[in-house]
Amino acid sequence: MRIAVVNTKGGVGKTTIATHLAAMFAGLAPALLIDGDPQASAASWAAWRREAGRDPSPTTTCLVGKAVYDEGKNLAKNFGHTVIDAGGRDSASLRAALLLAERAIVPVGASNLDAAAMTDLLEVVELAKDFNAGLDVRVLLMRIDPRTRDTGEMIDYLHENKLRILDARICERVAYRRAIGEGATVAEIGKDPQAVAEMAALFQEIQA
Amino acid sequence: MKAKPNLESYLAGGAAAAAEKSAPAPAPVPAAPVIEQRRTKSIRISPALDMFLKEEAFRRTMASGRRVNESDLIEEALSGHFRESISK
C-alpha cells in the first residue's frame, strides 16, 4: 500500500502520523518512508531511531519535488508498504506524493483555521485525481478536544465538502511529541495507553 | 469538454514551487567557524529539568529544521548565566 500523509497547512501532525504508520507497517513487511518535506522532520525521527537502535524501522529517504514521484515509484516497488510525508504547503513534493499514493491521509485539526486551509488542499487533490483517479482521500481528525464544539463544526464542514472521515481520532497528547523526539512510536514508549490505542485504531482502519 | 490534463504543468503548479523558482540565488556560504574545544561533563539534574530540556531541544529542532541538542541548550543557558564572568 502507498500512503501519502498530506496537508498544505503546517503543524497539523503529518510527521507524527507518517512516522507511526511507517514504523507499524515495518513490523509487517519491509516499509519505505519518503520524507518530502524540506524541514526533513521524518528524516530526523529516523536518525534518532537509528541512534536509539529501535527495530523494526522503515527505510527512510528524503526526496524533493518531482523526485517524490519519479524516484519514489521505482523505490516503492521494493517495499511492501510506502508512506510519504509531504507537506506544509502546496509544493511539487506534495503534488507528486498525491500521484504516487493509493491513499491520502489528511490530518486536520478541528479549528476554523484548519477548515480555511483545507480549501487549498481540496483544489490540489481534485487536480491530482485527473492523473490518479483511484486516489482514496480520508481525513483524520487530529488534536481534538471533545469539550468544545469545534470538532462537530469541522465534521459538518467535511461532510459538506463530501470528504470521507476516518473513524479513528488522534487527541492532543504529550506522548506523541515525546515519542517523535525519541525516534520511537507511542507503543514503544508505552507510557500513554490512550495514545497507543488511538494509533492502533488508526493503523487497523487504514489496513482494512 | 474538460481539456486533457497536463502532468508537467500539474507538478510545476504548486504555489510554493513558484515561489521557489523566483527565489534569489543563495548567498555564498561563509567560511566555517572555528569549532571550540568541548569537554564532556556528566551532571545530575531533576527529571523535570530533563524533560524540559528534551522537549525544548525537540521543539527548536522542529522549528529551525536543524538538530538542536540538549548540550546546546545547557551551553546557551550557562553562557547567559556566566556572561559577566566570561567577558571579564
pLDDT value for A197: 97
Q: How confident is the model at residue A69 (pLDDT cuts 50, 70, 90)?
A: very high
- Read off the pLDDT of residues A120-133 as tens digits, 9 standing for 90 and up: 888 889 889 989 99
Tallying the residues shown for chain A, one arrives at: 208
Q: At what angle do helices A92-100 and A112-131 cross, to 10 degrees?
A: 60
Q: Which residues 134-173 in chain A show a CB within 8 A of chain B?
A: none
Q: What does the buried/exposed string (b/e) look like for A3-37 if buried means 16 or more CB atoms within 10 Å of the residue's CB? A: bbbbbbbeebbbbbbbbbbbbbbbeeeebbbbbbb
- Tell if the CB–CB gap between B5 and A90 is shorter than 8 Å: no
Confidence check: pLDDT of A119 > 60: yes
Q: How confident is the model at residue B3 (pLDDT cuts 50, 70, 90)?
A: low
- Read off the pLDDT of residues A141-190 as tens digits, 9 standing for 90 and up: 998 776 777 788 888 888 888 889 999 999 989 999 999 999 999 999 99
| Sheet strand arrangement including A164-171 | A59-62, A31-35, A81-87, A2-7, A103-109, A136-144, A164-171
Percent of chain A having pLDDT more than 90? 70
The pTM for the full model equals: 0.74
- Read off the pLDDT of residues B6-64 as tens digits, 9 standing for 90 and up: 788 888 877 676 665 555 555 555 555 555 677 777 778 888 888 888 888 888 887 78
- Read off the pLDDT of residues A74-92 as tens digits, 9 standing for 90 and up: 999 999 999 999 977 889 9
Tallying the residues shown for chain B, one arrives at: 88
Confidence check: pLDDT of A25 > 90: yes
Q: How confident is the model at residue A96 (pLDDT cuts 50, 70, 90)?
A: very high
pLDDT value for B36: 63
In chain B, where does DSSP find H-type helix? Answer: 7-11, 15-21, 47-64, 70-81, 83-87
Candidate from B13, B16, B62 with C-beta closest to A89? B16
Which residue, chain included where needed, has cell 506522548?
Answer: A175
Q: How confident is the model at residue A28 (pLDDT cuts 50, 70, 90)?
A: very high
Q: Which residues 25-54 in chain B show a CB within 8 A of chain A?
A: 54
